[in-house]
Every structure is written in C-alpha cells, then in structure tokens.
Amino acid sequence: MTEEMVLSIGAEAIKTTIYLASPMLIAAMVIGIVISVLQAITQINEATLTFIPKMVAVVLILVILAPWMLKTMGGYATEVLGNAGEWVR
C-alpha cells in the first residue's frame, strides 16, 4: 500500500463523514441561531431553551435522510472493502 493510497482512503473517509454529519449540524446551527435571536428580542435568557428544538430538528433530519445516509455509508464501505485486495498488494 503506497502513501497516496492511504491518503486517498483517509481523504474519502473525511469527506464521507462531512457529507453525513453536515445536514444535522446545519439544522442544529440554524435552530440555535433562530432561538438565540428570539431570546435576544424577548430578553428571555434561558440557556436550556434551545436544547429541545435542536434535538427535535436533528432527529427529524436523521429520520428524513436515513436512507440517503445508509446508501452513502454502504457505498463507501463497498468501495473500501472491494478494493482492499488491490491495496494490500
């Protein structure tokens, strides 16, 4: 296994992780910003107010995008395990 192969496998793993995590992180960030703006407008300074909406948004995104996420993870696993014989040589 050459250095380029290891780097390409690592880069693909990082890229796949970013693709899978970004929808949930973006949803949590948007909900957090919206709740923070509403807290600033109404002057309600409750730190725990953002947790439930964020959790609901993340679970909703996870449920909606689960088939795509499984397909993406399966494709990556198939590529890595399918090419493992060539990489070992």
Per-residue pLDDT of 44-74, as tens digits, reads 888 788 889 999 999 999 999 999 999 999 9
* Rounded Cα–Cα distance for residues 14 and 60 (Å): 24
pLDDT at 21: 95
> Quick one: pLDDT band at residue 86, thresholds 50, 70, 90?
confident
Contacts of 65 (CB under 8 A, 6+ apart): 23
